[in-house]
Amino acid sequence: MKKLLIFILLLIICIISLCNSLKYKEGLENIYNIAFYTCFYGTDDNPAFAIPEIPSDKYDCYYFSNNKKMLEKLNGTKWIGIYDNKLITNNPIESCMHGKHVKVVPEDFEVLKHYDYTCFLDSKLDKVSETFVENFIETHFIKQNYALLLREHLFIKDNVWNEYNESMKQDRYVQEKEKYKKYINNQISTGLIETTDKHCQCGFLIRNMRHPNITEIDKTWYSHIQECGIQDQISFFFVKQLFNGSIYPFKETPFVEK
């Protein structure tokens, strides 16, 4: 009788353990078809040569780079390295421009175009909250019909020239200052305006890859970057005006609380 009770007790423990394990696995199942991704293009001494914290344990997380040493550094992490065969250069402007393609037009990349949603994060950002991304997809893509979500700028407001002036504090942007001024004036001459009530940061982007306008938004922005230069917050300032109803700037913090 005692042995039977022990057997029954062990059986109950095993069943409880199995149930907990199944619940854990269920919690790790992909609720949405999302890919997180970041990128780095350039030489080893580039300040952006960094690996951010993995934003998700249950969704695919890709790291695009033309630097094989960076891809080797990903070994032992949960990032999926993707080699992008672009020329490595010491020129920071050229390297930055290489990265604009995957950042702005993920649908051009075979590994990303099959996802329903993508989340781009700059490699220098704090740890992104997976739950935040899931909640915003549900709220703004599924229950509403936005194509692109990104954060309002924390301190640059109102006018594109404020973004331009702030940019002049960084050497790589100073090198293209005449290009930026020409671009801004060209956009104003077409009827777009130099003011906004919601200026955006472009280091964190959540895309609805199945939205009918997303490819047009992405291709238009990439075309504007070719004209403007690497300061994509200046070019996005005007692109946003062209697709205002499809873009949602938010104020919330998308990072894991420390």
Express each pLDDT in 120-131 by its tens digit: 999 999 999 999
Do 84 and 158 sit in the same domain of this protein?
no
Residue where one domain finishes, among candidates 115, 134, 150: 150
Q: How confident is the model at residue 17 (pLDDT cuts 50, 70, 90)?
A: very low
Kindly tell me if the per-residue pLDDT of 70 is higher than 80: yes
DSSP characters for 142-195? Answer: ISS--SEEEEEPSS--SBHHHHHHHHTTSHHHHTTHHHHHHHHHHHHHTT--SB
Q: Is the pLDDT of residue 117 over 60?
A: yes
Q: What residue type is 52 in one-letter code?
A: P
Residues 113 and 188 in one domain: no
At residue 61, what are phi and psi to the nearest 5 degrees? Answer: -125, 115
Confidence of residue 2 (pLDDT cuts 50, 70, 90): low
pLDDT category at 155 given cuts 50, 70, 90 is: very high
Burial of 137 (0-12, 13-18, 19+ CB in 10 A): buried
**Which residue has 């924390």 as its token pair?**
154
- 214-256 tens-digit pLDDT: 999 999 999 999 999 999 999 999 999 999 999 999 999 999 9
Q: Which domain holds residue 196?
A: 152-200+212-243
**What is the pLDDT, as a whole number, of residue 26?**
42
Q: What is the pTM of this model?
A: 0.88
Do 117 and 145 share a domain, yes or no? Answer: yes
What per-residue confidence (pLDDT) applies to 10?
Answer: 43
Span 75-90, mean pLDDT? 96
pLDDT at 97 over 60: yes
Inform me whether the pLDDT recorded for 21 exceeds 90.
Answer: no
**Residue 93's pLDDT is what?**
95
Nearest-10 crossing angle of helices 177-189, 160-167: 170
Q: Are residues 80 and 180 in the same domain?
A: no
Rounded-to-integer distance, Cα 21 and Cα 18, Å: 5
Q: What is the mean pLDDT of the chain?
A: 91
* Lowest mean pLDDT, pick from 7-11, 35-39, 152-156, 195-199: 7-11
Q: Are 189 and 81 in the same domain?
A: no
Residue 251 in domain: no
Residue 132 makes CB contacts below 8 A (sequence gap 6+) with 252, 254, 255
Looking at residue 8, its pLDDT comes to: 52
Q: Are residues 41 and 130 in the same domain?
A: yes
**200, containing H or E segment:** strand 200-208
One domain for residues 140 and 39: yes
Eight-state DSSP code of residue 47: T
Distance in angstroms (rounded) separating the CA atoms of residues 176 and 87: 21
Q: What is the pLDDT of residue 222?
A: 99
Inform me whether the pLDDT recorded for 203 exceeds 60. yes
Rounded CA separation 95/99 (Å)? 7
Contact (CB, 8 A) for 163 and 237: yes
For residues 137 and 182, membership in a common domain is answered with: no
Top-confidence residue, 80 or 12: 80
Residue 131 is assigned to a structural domain of this protein: yes
Residue 153 has pLDDT above 50, yes or no: yes
Answer whether residue 20 is part of any domain: no
Split into its structural domains, the chain has a count of 2
CA dihedral of 144, 147, 151, 156, whole degrees rounded to 10: -120
Q: Does residue 230 lie within any of the structural domains? A: yes
CB 178 within 8 A of CB 214: no
Residues 6+ away with beta carbon under 8 Å from 101:
108, 222
Q: Which residue has the higher pLDDT, 158 or 184?
A: 184
